[in-house]
Amino acid sequence: MTNDDALAAKARMIANHGQSKMYYHDEIGVNSRLDAMQAVILNAKLKHLDEYNAARNRAADYYDRVFGKIPQLRIPAREPNSTHVFHQYTLQINTPSPSQTRDELKAYLLEKGIPAMIYYPVPLYNQPAFARYWKGGTLPVTEALCASVFSLPMHSEMTEEILGKITGAVKAFFE
């Protein structure tokens, strides 16, 4: 609590990953947006974590089966000796102009009521928060990924109907 508007704005920014605008980091920040009510709810849900993760993996398996057959998409890699919790399901566009294709696909999906997100549009080394740590140069793989990846809906309550709608729309876009 403060009566200093500038200090309040800076505190809010630092508590939200140092972002003044979504995915643009002016400061090094933290993720501290959990309030007491959310903590109580998450504590109750914690005993179901393994089943939630298993449900996310089933949804990812469904996505993999469909998207693995679309040559313009690259599905997430999985290691056989570990598991993935699929907080996000992120695909990479594999076309001559991936950024344009991604933006067109995202718009197409939004028209169909399907959210698609681009979570990391700017490489960390190009963020103001990290500028003082960067010695110059480029990271071509990082830049290529920032220009070509997007994420589809992923949660533990995804039904085959929801998955079918999402995968059907993505398949239709590439046909």
43, pLDDT greater than 80: yes
**Res 27: pLDDT:** 79
Average pLDDT over residues 33-61: 92
Query: Which pLDDT score is estimated for 70?
Result: 97
What pLDDT score does 149 carry? Answer: 96
Structure tokens at 172: 């239709």
Alpha helices (runs of H) in 86-152, residue ranges in sequence order = 98-111, 140-148
Identity of residue 40: V
The size of the chain, in residues, is 175
pLDDT at 29 over 90: no
pLDDT given at position 129: 85
Instruction: Give Cα 83 distance to the centre of its chain.
Output: 18
State the Cα–Cα distance between residues 139 and 142, nearest whole angstrom. 5
Strands 89-93 and 149-152: antiparallel
pTM beyond cutoff 0.75: yes
Q: Which carries the bigger pLDDT value, residue 168 or residue 34?
A: 168
- DSSP state letter for 152: E
Cα distance between residue 21 and residue 18, in whole Å: 9
Distances 136 to 78, 124, 125, 171 between C-alpha atoms, Å:
32, 13, 9, 40
Q: What is the pLDDT of residues 86-120, one digit of tens each?
A: 999 999 999 999 999 999 999 999 999 999 999 88
Please give the domain boundaries of the chain with CATH numbers for all domains: 1-33 (no CATH), 48-174 (3.90.1150.10)
